[in-house]
Structures are given as C-alpha cells and as structure tokens.
C-alpha cells in the first residue's frame, strides 16, 4: 500500500485531549518521566538521536563534500553538542561553534570547539495509520501548535530548507531524505537497529518533546500523560509500521 503522509494533511482535525482518556487507564504509567529525571532523559534522547543519524548515514557526520582544510563551522541547535564534538575531532584545524538555547553541553570539549548559548509527523509502511492513532496525532499536535505560535512545522513538506538556502545564495543545493523507522518492526537488520534506538529515544523523552506544544493547545499535563500511554503502546505493538522522514539539505557558497 502507498505510505501515508499525515503530517501535511492540514485539513484533518486534531483529536481533543479527552479522546485519549477513553483509550487507556487514564493515569501516568510507571515509565512516564517526572520532573527530577526529565533533564537526564532529554540528554539520553539527544545522544540516541545522534547515534540513529550516524547509522542512517553509514557513519558519516555530513553529506556535504567538505574540504579537509575548512576554517570554521557552526552547529545551530547543538543540543548536547555530541555532533559538534565529533566534527571538531574530525576537523582538528577548524574552529567549531555550537549554539543552543539550553546550556546542557558537556564541560569537556576539543580545543577547537566552543559552545554559545543564546524536533515531523509519522507515516505508515502498511497504510494502517489512521487519524485516531496517537502516532498520527503526534504530528498534528506540532503542526497545530506551531500554527498557533506563528511558526511553521511543515519545513520538509513546503521545501523551506532548500528554498531558504537558495535565497541565501547557496548553489549546487542538494537534498537527501532518509526514512527512520519507529520500533523494531523492520525485517532489515540495520533498519531494525535504527528503529530500536529511535523507540528508546522517544520513550525516554516523549513528554519533554511534546509537553510544550500540547499545553499550548490547552491540554493539561495529565491529559498529555494519558496520550503518551497510547503513543508508547502503539510504538511497542508495531502494528502500524510507523516511520518518519528526515531531510538533509546541503550546498555551497560560490
């Protein structure tokens, strides 16, 4: 069956928070995060995300054909800084700057790296993802929350990254999309490993990822917790064969 792309179906209605109370027990599960562990889980999730991306790119840190003698590089939204650290070690002669709004980076960094302080909807491999699924609604929460905040959450669907690079003067702009499975449903060994790490990352920090957007839409934290019970259950069951797409865009300045 043809894979769906629910995130950009903007005409579909987002389900109300109360819907999820009818799907689960209506209380926070033992694997839900509390305030004391949310920071650690966010850090672990970021590290797992980095590992997934390097697996998807066969160990590469980037796809742009960079010369070995580059002088400077910037990592915007660096998170834990793990990508910037690896990049700094691969290019020891370059000056690397990592920027993020959260000061969660490690205190030890390569001498050529400095941190400055100032995440797509799911699709279905088998066509079984429906608007009543929590996995489907996950993307809708971000699209609708972004719309309320005046920020687009459909960068890939609207081709904003490529257009922005071209408007900024980059040439030879290229685009690569990678399909990231959610869970261990793939038969391919490498895809199964990627999906397992992605599931672990989402399960560890699902609340930290979606809480702000959901509360922007008027949900209570308790309602978010019930939604996440359904979300985690669907991931573990694997019946929808869910995945999401990640886009990498690169180019060069003439």
What is the residue extent of each domain of the chain? 6-58+120-252
Summary count for the chain: helices (H), strands (E): 6, 6
40 contacts 212 by C-beta, under 8 angstroms: no
Instruction: Please tell me the pTM assigned to this model.
Output: 0.61
Q: Is the pLDDT of residue 252 over 90?
A: no
Q: Are strands 95-99 and 113-116 parallel, antiparallel or unpaired?
A: parallel
- The average pLDDT across 73-93 equals 81
Least confident of 89-93, 96-100, 184-188: 96-100
Residue 178 has pLDDT above 80, yes or no: yes
Q: In this structure, are strands 242-252 and 171-181 parallel, antiparallel, or unpaired?
A: antiparallel
- CA of 250: how far to CAs of 91, 117, 174, 175, in Å? 18, 24, 6, 7
Give the pLDDT confidence of 216-233 residue by residue, as tens digits. 999 999 999 999 999 999
**If you search the block for the tokens 């209506």, which residue do you land on?**
26
Mean pLDDT value across the chain: 78
Cβ-based burial of 132 (10 A; exposed 0-12, middle 13-18, buried ≥19): exposed
Looking at residue 1, its pLDDT comes to 42
Distance in angstroms (rounded) separating the CA atoms of residues 201 and 161: 25
Burial class (CB in 10 A: 0-12, 13-18, 19+), 196: middle
| pLDDT winner (highest mean) among 52-66, 74-88, 189-203 | 189-203
Tell me: pLDDT of 187 over 90: yes
Residue-level pLDDT at 3: 46
Q: Report pLDDT digits (tens) over 39-70.
A: 445 556 667 777 788 888 888 888 888 888 88
Is residue 138 a contact partner of residue 209, using CB atoms and an 8 Å limit? no
Percent of the chain whose pLDDT exceeds 70: 77
Nearest to 224 by CA among 38, 77, 79, 39: 38
Longest CA span, the chain: 59
- Tokens linked to 71: 């002088």
Confidence at residue 45, expressed as pLDDT on a 0 to 100 scale: 61
**pLDDT band at residue 82 using 50, 70 and 90 as cut-offs:** confident
DSSP 177: E
- 180, two tokens: 């990231």
Helix (H, G, I), strand (E, B) or coil at 253: coil
Task: Average the pLDDT over 193-205 and give the result.
Answer: 86
Q: Give the pLDDT of residue 117.
A: 44
Are residues 242 and 129 in contact, defined by beta-carbon separation less than 8 angstroms? yes
Residue with tokens 């490529």: 162
Angle 241-53-165 from CA coordinates, rounded to 5°: 110
Alpha carbon of residue 2 to chain centroid: 23
């Amino acid at each position: 069956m043809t894979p769906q792309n629910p995130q950009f179906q903007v005409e579909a209605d987002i389900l109300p928070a109360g819907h999820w109370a009818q799907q689960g027990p209506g209380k926070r599960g033992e694997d839900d995060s509390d305030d004391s562990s949310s920071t650690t889980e966010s850090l672990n999730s970021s590290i797992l995300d980095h590992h997934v991306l390097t697996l998807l790119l066969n160990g590469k840190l980037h796809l742009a054909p960079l010369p070995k003698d580059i002088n400077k590089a910037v990592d915007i939204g660096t998170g834990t800084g793990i990508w910037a650290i690896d990049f700094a070690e691969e290019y020891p002669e370059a000056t690397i700057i990592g920027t993020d709004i959260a000061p969660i980076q490690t205190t030890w960094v390569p001498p050529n790296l400095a941190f400055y302080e100032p995440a797509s909807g799911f699709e279905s491999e088998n066509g079984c993802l429906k608007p009543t699924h929590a996995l489907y609604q996950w993307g809708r929460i971000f699209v609708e929350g972004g719309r309320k905040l005046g920020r687009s959450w459909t960068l890939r669907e609207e081709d904003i990254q490529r257009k922005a690079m071209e408007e900024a003067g980059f040439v030879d702009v290229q685009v690569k999309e990678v399909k990231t499975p959610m869970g261990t449903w793939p038969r391919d060994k490498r895809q199964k490993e990627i999906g397992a790490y992605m599931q672990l990352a989402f399960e560890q920090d699902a609340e930290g990822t979606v809480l702000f957007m959901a509360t922007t839409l008027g949900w209570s934290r308790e309602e978010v917790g019930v939604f996440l019970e359904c979300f985690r259950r669907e991931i573990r069951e694997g019946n929808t064969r869910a995945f999401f797409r990640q886009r990498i865009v690169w180019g060069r300045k003439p």
